Amino acid sequence: MTTEASPRPSAAYDELASLLRTAATLTSIRATLSWDQETVMPPRGGSFRAEEIALVSTLEHERLTDPRIGELLAACESDRGLCSNEAIAADLREIRRDFERATKLPTELVAEIARTSSEALEVWKEARQRSDFALFRPWLEKQFRLAADKARCYGIPEGGELYDPLLDEYEPGASAREIEGIFGPLRAALAPFLAEILAAPRAIDPSPRALRLPLARQREFSRFVAERIGFDFRAGRLDESTHPFTEGLAPGDTRITSRFSEDHATDALGSTLHEAGHALYEQGLPKDLHHGLPLSQAIGLGIHESQSRMWENQVGRSRPFWSWALPEAKRFFGPALEPLSVDQIYASVNQVRPSLIRVEADETTYNLHVMLRFDVERAMVRGDLRVADLPAVWNERMRGDLGQEVPDDRSGCLQDIHWAGGAIGYFPTYTLGTLYAAQFWEAIRQAIPDLDEHLARGEFGALLSWLRENIHAHGRRWRAGELCLRLTGRPLGHGPMLRHLGTKLRPIYGI
């Protein structure tokens, strides 16, 4: 962070920062409760946990909408000296955005959404396990009803739709129409590429995927790799959960989870790299300096996802990475891996296989999973699709888009945690992040011409420093689109992602 952002230049700004720090402390308490619910809480703790989360959310919302924040904000905005500092002006712009949004929501609705999300999560876990959509359906209906209520409170932007204010929560400034404008051409470009790969004569050696590796060793190896790429375990933890996630709980406390199974060792490593990528962003935000202020927070979920996807895909599915990681893996796993070559594992982690589960999807088909979710959640928010009809529509799309027959809702519309937890409007950020990652990667390769040699030596410092300096250190100083322009000179597009896939997969498949 540059020093211009650090001084406390006015009494009003000081008091504003102090109020926001208190609200952020409540946010941190709520996040700790959620983390606990997702990782170690026993099932019967669910209903009281919902009460706890609803109460903390209420207190948090009361703090965030305190009229004193409005007064101080207005005072700061009219202080020309203060606003001449670019970083502080950006900070005030984002505080204004947050305040305007928060004050549009009644506290009762915020509490109701928090309580429902916590309760629905427990029902979803059971419904998913039993593949019982009927059990989850009333909760899903309630979540979409509450989301629509929330969107109405925020208000529909001119020329926009009810989905927009929901999306805006995760990707500030984005609209459904814009997403459509990005997804449409991407889909059109992906379809022939995918067809070409699926028709390729060369088959990928299945032996690496058939390996069964002990869970304890997998956990140790994941931890080793996370630490090696820069995850600071003095300021973080790695645990396990059904749905891997990252929670930046507080300054000095970033938690990630992964999931392990004996026969999917490389998936587990990919999942750890993904979450560690999120965590490196959280650990790189200047939280000690600006806790509670936008300058210490992530820009949005698209950029957050760009960090996780980059470590998972651009790094973790590259040949240089595996030329370092395979010998290391052999140290951990012993004779089981001895016969394996870098070529075999590299081809294996890049195998394109249309499948049912988003989080297990390869890089080429992954975005088709996201597009499906964007289309159906948008239709449900608009009221064009009834929740009751979701399984049928989902299964139809899986057949059409990915050629997959969905055997049960557990492998279909019940697979993701997001809607249960109230995250409606979130899914598009996965594809935005994937596209940002590929576009940033081209800029990084220019900035660090010998990047491959670094990766092949297991040295990730130069890459992490670039990310820290150019992205992490700035918090919400720029919006995602502006950051993209600054770093790459172009608005977001799908060209770099297609180049990334083509350059890698064409030689692997011999096409």
Residue ranges in contact with Zn ion by CB under 5 A: 308
Least distance to Zn ion, CB of residue 495, Å: 23
262 a catalytic residue: no
How many Cβ atoms from other residues are within 10 Å of residue 298's Cβ? Answer: 19
CA dist., res. 140 & res. 353, Å (int): 30
Please report the sign of the dihedral spanned by the C-alpha atoms of residue 43, residue 46, residue 52, residue 53: positive
* Cβ contact 69:94 at 8 Å: no
Give 66-119 as a 3 state SS string: CHHHHHHHHHHHCCHHHHCCHHHHHHHHHHHHHHHHHHCCCHHHHHHHHHHHHH
Nearer to Zn ion, 308 or 318 (CB): 308
Q: Which residue's CB is nearer to Zn ion, number 245 or number 509?
A: 245
Instruction: State in angstroms the smallest separation of the CB of 20 from Zn ion.
Output: 26
> Which ranges in 285-356 belong to alpha helices (H)?
287-290, 301-309, 319-333, 342-349
Minimum separation from the CB atom of position 361 to Zn ion (A): 13
DSSP assignment string, 174-213: --HHHHHHHHHHHHHHHHHHHHHHHT-SPPPP-HHHH---
- Identify which of residues 34 and 323 has a Cβ nearer to Zn ion in the complex: 34
Least Å distance, CB 195 to Zn ion, is 28
CA distance linking residue 308 with residue 267, whole number of Å: 14
Q: Report the alpha-carbon distance of residue 245 to residue 224 in Å, rounded.
A: 18
Please enumerate in sequence order all residues whose Cβ is within 8 A of that of 28, keeping only pairs 6 or more positions apart, or say none: 249, 250
Least separation in angstroms between residue 360's CB and Zn ion is 14
Q: How far is the CB of 305 from Zn ion (least distance, A)?
A: 5
The Cα-based distances of 30 to 83, 125, 143 in angstroms read 32, 20, 19
Nearest residue (CB) to Zn ion, 277 versus 320: 277
66 DSSP β-pair partners = none
365 token code pair: 């088909």
**In the complex, minimum distance from the CB of residue 130 to Zn ion, in angstroms, rounded to a whole number:** 27
Which is closer to Zn ion, CB of 175 or CB of 308?
Answer: 308
Complex with Zn ion: residue 276 or 402, whichever CB lies closer: 276
Shortest separation between residue 4's beta carbon and Zn ion, angstroms? 32
User: What separation in angstroms does the CA of 322 have from each of 327, 441, 452, 500?
Assistant: 8, 18, 11, 17
Residue nearest to Zn ion (CB): 308
Using the minimum distance from each CB to Zn ion, give the nearer residue, 65 or 306: 306
Nearest to 395 by CA among 376, 374, 423: 376
CB of 392 to Zn ion, least distance (A): 28
Compare residues 243 and 474 and give the one whose CB is closer to Zn ion: 243
C-beta separation of 387 from 380 below 8 A = yes
For the chain, first and last CA: distance in Å? 46
Q: 52, 169, 171, 275: which one is catalytic? A: 275
Q: At which residue do the structure tokens 């020093």 appear?
A: 3
* Helix and strand counts by DSSP (H, E) for the chain: 23, 3
Which residues have CB under 8 Å from 172's CB, separation 6+? 97, 299, 300, 479, 480
Q: Which is nearer to Zn ion, 266 or 395 (CB)?
A: 266
Q: How far apart are CA 221 and CA 211, in angstroms?
A: 15
Active centre residues (catalytic): 275
